[in-house]
């Protein structure tokens, strides 16, 4: 696609705006791209140019991330709010049916959206992601997550400290230390959209009320998961990286049982509407080596078998 047509969008929301960047012509079939936790729309800068040019790709920044407005004071961030942002963006762009491409947390938002609004999603691509997060390993932690989310919000509101301004080099090193799967080049790309430059250096754009992902997730039971995916009308492409993550907090990362449960449930429910692919790489393979998955995603987006809507 080369640089193609890349445009910046600013979509009005009740609390401000959602920022997004778009590739291609808005007359082409739409694909909404959802980034991972604390990332931003630049997450897709290296993958989208390798995908078919006859689609309209829109990568949004979730609220409080990238160039999107922060939520109003006192209004908490929560998994379901991110799902409703997808619905709001679709309304702002006047889309009634589109495809979703989500990395990590973005795929979990896209998965939940696709089950709540099944008639709106024709294809769902999950990159190193799961359509829902299961509570299996987390039951004893869930109340403390909710408590920490509330305490953290109150703490940030009480501390009137301005955002920390650091040198670009320090910012990059800090970022790479916290995100071991992101290479230097990709780290710079995410920070381009994730920081603002001032005279003395850079500060992070993201809302400091957003901290650890587990504080904001909607954990669900296996039973509810199986029930929810029966609602899907979309075809689903599930891409797993060989050195990716299997567990939310990465502490039980050797435990692949949950991923196997998720994929086998999707396969038995969706049958030929489910495709599973494994690619070499880590959790950020879509940025580090996008060529490992571009062909698979391209074929999936271009495949024509339409699914009858009544299924």
Task: Provide the phi-psi class of 173: left if phi over 0, else alpha when psi is between -120 and 50, else beta.
Answer: alpha
Given the structure tokens 């630049």, which residue do they identify? 42
d(CA 170, CA 23): 32
Q: CB–CB of 112/132 below 8 Å?
A: yes
204: how many CB neighbours lie within 10 A of its CB?
A: 18
d(CA 172, CA 70): 23
Task: Provide the phi-psi class of 238: left if phi over 0, else alpha when psi is between -120 and 50, else beta.
Answer: beta
Please confirm, yes or no, whether 25 is among the known catalytic residues: no
Which tokens belong to 117?
């609004």
Which member of 43, 68, 99, 104 is catalytic? 104
d(CA 124, CA 239): 11
Question: How far, in whole angstroms, is CA 308 from its chain's centroid?
Answer: 27
Given the structure tokens 């089950």, which residue do they identify? 115
- Taking the CA atoms of the chain, what radius of gyration do you get in angstroms? 19
Which residue, 288, 104, 106, is CA-closest to 182?
288
Q: How far is CA 199 from CA 203, 205, 303, in A?
A: 11, 16, 50
Active site amino acids = 104
């Amino acid at each position: 696609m080369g640089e193609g047509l890349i445009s910046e969008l600013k979509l009005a929301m009740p609390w401000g705006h959602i920022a997004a960047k778009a590739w291609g012509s808005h007359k082409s079939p739409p694909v909404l791209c959802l980034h991972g936790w604390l990332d931003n729309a630049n997450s897709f800068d290296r993958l989208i140019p390798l995908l078919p040019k006859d689609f309209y790709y829109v990568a949004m920044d979730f609220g409080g991330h990238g160039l999107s407005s922060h939520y109003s004071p006192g209004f908490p961030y929560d998994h379901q709010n991110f799902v409703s942002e997808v619905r709001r963006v679709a309304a702002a762009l006047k889309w009634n049916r589109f495809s979703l491409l989500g990395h990590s947390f973005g795929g979990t938002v896209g998965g939940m959206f696709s089950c709540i609004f099944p008639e709106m999603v024709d294809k769902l691509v999950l990159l190193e992601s799961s359509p829902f997060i299961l509570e299996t390993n987390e039951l004893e932690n869930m109340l403390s997550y909710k408590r920490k989310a509330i305490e953290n919000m109150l703490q940030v509101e009480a501390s009137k400290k301005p955002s920390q301004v650091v040198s670009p080099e320090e910012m990059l090193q800090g970022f790479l230390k916290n995100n071991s799967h992101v290479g230097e080049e990709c780290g710079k790309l995410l920070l381009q959209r994730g920081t603002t430059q001032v005279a003395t250096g850079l500060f992070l754009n993201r809302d400091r009320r957003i901290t650890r992902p587990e504080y904001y997730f909607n954990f669900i039971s296996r039973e509810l998961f199986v029930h929810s995916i029966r609602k899907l009308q979309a075809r689903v492409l599930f891409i797993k990286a060989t050195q990716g993550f299997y567990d939310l907090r990465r502490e039980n990362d050797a435990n692949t049982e949950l991923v196997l449960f998720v994929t086998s449930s999707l396969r038995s429910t969706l049958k030929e509407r489910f495709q599973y692919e494994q690619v070499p790489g880590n959790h950020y393979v879509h940025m580090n080596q996008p060529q490992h998955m571009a062909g698979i995603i391209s074929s999936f987006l271009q495949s024509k078998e339409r699914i009858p809507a009544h299924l």
